[in-house]
Homo-oligomer: A and B are copies of this chain.
C-alpha cells in the first residue's frame, strides 16, 4: 500500500533538440546578475558554452563565470562559489553541465544569503535553508543524477573524507532545466555508462525496500526496463537519438521523488559507493556499480520476494521449475551480465581502492535503515571486501 505522503515538483523542463532556445523564455523571469556555473571546460570545446553565453548576452544579463566545478564538487569549491555569487549579487545561478554542476549550484543557492559555513550547516548538521534561496536553472550536458528535477546536492569534503548528500525540499529544486539528448552524445563512453548505471541504481535504491503492492514499484520496473533496453542500443550506437533521449528522460524520473512516494527506500549502495568515492575520488556511477552485486547478493535472503519479482518483471527470468532463491539469483545474474556488457566497474580495486582503505571506507559509510537488512559494521566490511 501507499503510505501518506506529499508531492510537489514544479521544475519546468524543456526537452529535445531545440530545448536551449527556451532559455530565452526563462531568462526574462530573473534579474540581471547571472552566475554561469560549469565544470572542466568541455562545454567550451563542444560549443555549448558559446551558445549559452550568446543567449545570456542577448537577454542583457550581467554574467560572472564560476567554472572548474569538479566531478565530485568539494566543500572548498562550494565556499568559493558562495563568495562569488554573493559578491555578484546573483539573481540566477545557471549551471551548464552534469549533475555535479547542478548539485553544486543548489548548494550555492541555499548558502549565498546565509552566514554559516555551508558544509557545516547543510552537510554536517543537515539543517534546512532558513535564508533567501537564489533560483537555479540547469542546462544538462550529461545525464544520470536526476539533479535537474530534484532538491538533492552531494558535496565532498576531502579534509574529513566525507561525501554527503542533502536532499533539500521542493523550494530548492531548479526552477527550470533544459534537456537536449544530443548534448549527452559528446561524452566518452565510460562517462555515459557510469551515468546509465547511476540511473539504474537510483531506481534500485527506491525499489528494493518494502513488501507491499505499490504503483511506485510498477513505475520503477518500467523505468528499469527502458534503461536496460536503451542502454544496450546506446553502447553499440552512442549517437542513437531514440536511445539517448529515453535514457535522459528516464534519468529525470528515476530520481525526482515520484517512484519513492508512499514507500520506504534503501540507498545503502549509495552510502557504500559514496564512502568509497570519498577515498578514491572515482566517478560516482562506477563506485555504485562496484559495490552493487556484493551488496544485493548479501541482502537477497532478507528481501527474497522482491528480488524474485525483480528477476521476473525486469529481467524476464522464466520462473518455471525454479525455487524462489533460484529465480532471485537468476535475476541478479542477468543484471551482472548486463553490467559487464555496459562495461561499468565491477570491483573497487579497478577504481584505485586498496585493502588498507577498507576500514576507512567502512567508517565513512553511513548505515541507513530502509533496506531489507540493516547492516552491521562486520557486514559493511564483508561487502566492501567482496567488492574490492
- Please give the residue numbers on chain A whose beta carbons come within 8 Å of chain B beta carbons, in ascending order: 1-19, 22, 181, 212-215, 218-219, 221-223, 225-226, 229-230, 241-242, 245-246, 249-250, 253, 258, 261-262
Contact = CB atoms under 8 A, between A and B. Distances in A.
A11 B13 CA distance: 15
A6 B14 contact: yes
A215 B250 contact: yes
Given A215-B226, A218-B223, A219-B219, A4 B12 contact: no
28 contacts: A1-B245, A2-B15, A2-B246, A2-B249, A3-B16, A4-B19, A5-B16, A6-B13, A6-B15, A6-B22, A7-B15, A9-B10, A15-B261, A15-B262, A212-B242, A213-B226, A213-B246, A215-B222, A215-B223, A215-B230, A215-B253, A218-B223, A219-B219, A219-B222, A219-B223, A221-B222, A222-B222, A245-B262
Contacts of A11: 8
Which 8 A-B pairs rank lowest in CB-CB distance, beginning with the nearest?
A4-B16, A222-B222, A1-B242, A10-B10, A218-B222, A8-B12, A2-B245, A215-B226
A345 to B, nearest CB: 26
A332 B22 CA distance: 42
Contact of A249 (B15, B19, B22, B261): B261
A151 to B, nearest CB: 14
Contacts of A10: 8-10
Contact of A215 (B2, B17, B215, B249): B249
Nearest to A15: B5
Nearest to A2: B245
A100 to B, nearest CB: 23
Contacts of A17: 4
Contacts of A245: 1-2, 262
A259 to B, nearest CB: 10
Contacts of A181: 2
A181 B16 CA distance: 37
Nearest to A258: B253
B230 A226 contact: no
A22 B4 CA distance: 12
A5 B245 CA distance: 12
Nearest to A221: B222
A244 to B, nearest CB: 9
A225 B216 CA distance: 12
A202 B213 CA distance: 22
A126 B1 CA distance: 40
A344 B18 CA distance: 44
A241 B1 contact: yes
